[in-house]
Amino acid sequence: MTVQFLFLIFSIHINSIHCAHFRGGAITWRPESNQNSVLNTDRNIIIEQRYAWSKSTAASACTTATILSFGTIGENVVSIIQCYSPAVKCTSAMYTTVSTLVPCTDYNIVLGTSYGYSSTTRNLTAISSGIVVGYVVSGAWLTLQLGGGGWDLMMYINMRPRSDNQLINSSPVSDISLVTYVPVGGIGPTSIDIPMSDADGDNIECRFSLASNTLGGIVVDECGGVCQPVALPALTQLISNNNTCTLIVTLPTVGYYAVAVQLEDYMVNSTTPLSSVPLQFLLLAYDASNPVSTCTVPPTITSIPPDFPAEGATITVQVNFPYKAMVIAQTGCPLDPDLSISNFITASPPGMLKSNLPFVLVAPSYAINLTWTPTIDQLNQTYQFCAIAIDIDYHESSQYCFFIFVGPQTTTTTTTSTTTTTTTTTTTSTTTSTTTTTTTSTASTTSTTSTSTTTTSATTSTTTSTTTTTTSKCSLRTLRFSD
């Protein structure tokens, strides 16, 4: 009797740990450096993971404090990427498990979601056939309208020399947000572009992950409880064409649906994938029948001051120095007073804070603030930042992404080269927009009186030293951009 009672308590405990918390993820791999691959020798491979979890589950709760302390989120019971190839291959490749607990980078109050990202280096041996590794847990996906339960994410890593250039391959990647809004009801199918890219310029294909597929010579389950045709309506199409991937879907009821796909890269005229990586994300089907506004034009992310990076561009920030920016979005119909931006979904570098809900800048513009002081561990790394703006009727902007390179602190360098006071140091650390303001005020002072010219020349010398700093920062930026 007592034994049974204890068992009951135990199973309730396990259930609460497993309680509907997985919200999708993606895993990719690439070599750390571009040297020829030599069979049976070791090379560093970087495994990148990102996941979305329920914010309300203890193991994946995330706050500002979690982000600042690089606190990890995930699933406590099973939290490893394990090798699924025959043991002899896993051993020859020197594979050791990788933790799936990742530092929380973002949380979204509206969606009740925590997001995390990690980059892990493994020193692996290049073997002729590659290995299959996976993150497999028996439960539980967030409650879905179709399918659900356990998750399986499977990845094929093959480090053998590429036949075209002898290098180690890099897998394809996708920066798609782990949740996409889809309207329910009589508006026709929704088409969702799944962005893909490949560092080697290979042909990239996408396909639905399969419940039973031969990957790297073994049969594996690539999608657990969210395989097709279980998780999405039967008529759903996934079209892979000319390195693009498009999901065409009509969702019948309000709620969440999961999409599980594999991204694979191929050499020209080859039908054997060089690698295969999992991408699993959510569709959030919303009721579009009673919109607040008649406007159907999605919002747009208009600018990200003070650096104003173009989409896909790289800006440089300084290690140990605060980077502050604002992501500004505008509603699709600026003259419609009923419309507003209600949420931003972000994917940020580890340690970057975001203000929670959007604030009105000047209607119809809304914004969130970003603040980040990159740590010394982040020096020389390039991180991606992505944001999507969502209006009150759930129309999404297209995703705006740019890269941030963490460079050395340039303030110290300038102080040594310029023999001026503390005032100069302050000026040096300000941004390009401030420099422009200084120039304007100089011009206006010159035209007023001759007495103030002396003062102006003093200001001009300060401006010159500022310009020097900005130029070196810009050339670094250009360097990264052309990489």
Compute the least distance from the CB of residue 114 to ligand NAG, in Å: 21
Nearer to ligand NAG, 44 or 253 (CB): 44
Please, are residues 207 and 186 in contact by the beta-carbon 8 Å criterion? no
Name the segment binding ligand NAG (CB under 6 A); options: 36-44, 134-142, 151-159, 328-336.
36-44
Please, are residues 135 and 80 in contact by the beta-carbon 8 Å criterion? yes
Q: Does 359 bind ligand NAG (CB under 6 A)?
A: yes
Nearer to ligand NAG, 87 or 268 (CB): 268
What's the CA dihedral at 355, 360, 366, 370 to 10 degrees?
A: -20
Compute the least distance from the CB of residue 269 to ligand NAG, in Å: 4
Nearer to ligand NAG, 242 or 290 (CB): 242
- Interacting residue with ligand NAG among 40, 163, 212, 269 (CB under 6 A): 269
Q: Does 242 bind ligand NAG (CB under 6 A)?
A: yes
- Interacting residue with ligand NAG among 375, 380, 426, 461 (CB under 6 A): 380
Cα–Cα distance measured from residue 240 to residue 220, given in angstroms and rounded to the nearest whole number: 22
Q: Does 475 bind ligand NAG (CB under 6 A)?
A: no
Return the SS3 of 64.
helix
Query: Could you tell me which residues are beta bridge partners of residue 383?
Result: 404
Q: If 0-12 CB within 10 Å is exposed, 13-18 middle and 19+ buried, where does residue 14 land?
A: exposed
Cα–Cα distance measured from residue 209 to residue 223, given in angstroms and rounded to the nearest whole number: 6
Please, are residues 181 and 108 in contact by the beta-carbon 8 Å criterion? no
Nearer to ligand NAG, 24 or 407 (CB): 407
Please, are residues 58 and 71 in contact by the beta-carbon 8 Å criterion? no
- Interacting residue with ligand NAG among 46, 284, 379, 392 (CB under 6 A): 379
For residue 229, cis peptide bond before it (omega within 30 degrees of 0): yes
Of the candidates 177, 172, 57, the one whose C-alpha atom is nearest the C-alpha of residue 106 is 177
Amino acid at 401: C
Cα–Cα distance measured from residue 190 to residue 204, given in angstroms and rounded to the nearest whole number: 23
Name the segment binding ligand NAG (CB under 6 A); options: 37-45, 96-104, 206-214, 337-345.
37-45
Name the segment binding ligand NAG (CB under 6 A); options: 40-48, 173-181, 385-393, 446-454.
40-48
Nearer to ligand NAG, 149 or 408 (CB): 408
Residue 356 CB contacts under 8 Å (≥ 6 apart), including other chains: 109, 368
- Interacting residue with ligand NAG among 69, 369, 441, 478 (CB under 6 A): 369
Query: Could you tell me which residues are beta bridge partners of residue 204?
Result: 265
Cα–Cα distance measured from residue 166 to residue 97, given in angstroms and rounded to the nearest whole number: 27
Compute the least distance from the CB of residue 475 to ligand NAG, in Å: 14
Compute the least distance from the CB of residue 125 to ligand NAG, in Å: 8
User: Scanning the structure block, which residue is given the tokens 């931006």?
Assistant: 341
Compute the least distance from the CB of residue 381 to ligand NAG, in Å: 9
Contact mark string toward ligand NAG, 299..318, x via CB under 6 A: --------------------
- Interacting residue with ligand NAG among 18, 30, 43, 354 (CB under 6 A): 43
Nearer to ligand NAG, 175 or 336 (CB): 175
Name the segment binding ligand NAG (CB under 6 A); options: 42-50, 60-68, 151-159, 182-190.
42-50
Cα–Cα distance measured from residue 403 to residue 67, given in angstroms and rounded to the nearest whole number: 19
Q: Does 44 bind ligand NAG (CB under 6 A)?
A: yes
Contact mark string toward ligand NAG, 79..118, x via CB under 6 A: ----------------------------------------
Q: Does 268 bind ligand NAG (CB under 6 A)?
A: yes
Cα–Cα distance measured from residue 314 to residue 383, given in angstroms and rounded to the nearest whole number: 9
Residue 11 φ/ψ, nearest 5 degrees: -70, -30
Please, are residues 304 and 400 in contact by the beta-carbon 8 Å criterion? yes
Nearer to ligand NAG, 204 or 295 (CB): 204
Compute the least distance from the CB of residue 309 to ligand NAG, in Å: 18
Q: Does 355 bind ligand NAG (CB under 6 A)?
A: yes
Please, are residues 180 and 283 in contact by the beta-carbon 8 Å criterion? yes
- Interacting residue with ligand NAG among 96, 123, 197, 237 (CB under 6 A): 123
Please, are residues 186 and 172 in contact by the beta-carbon 8 Å criterion? no
For residue 140, cis peptide bond before it (omega within 30 degrees of 0): yes
- What is the binding site for ligand NAG (CB under 6 A)? 42-44, 123, 242, 268-269, 324, 326, 355, 359, 369, 379-380
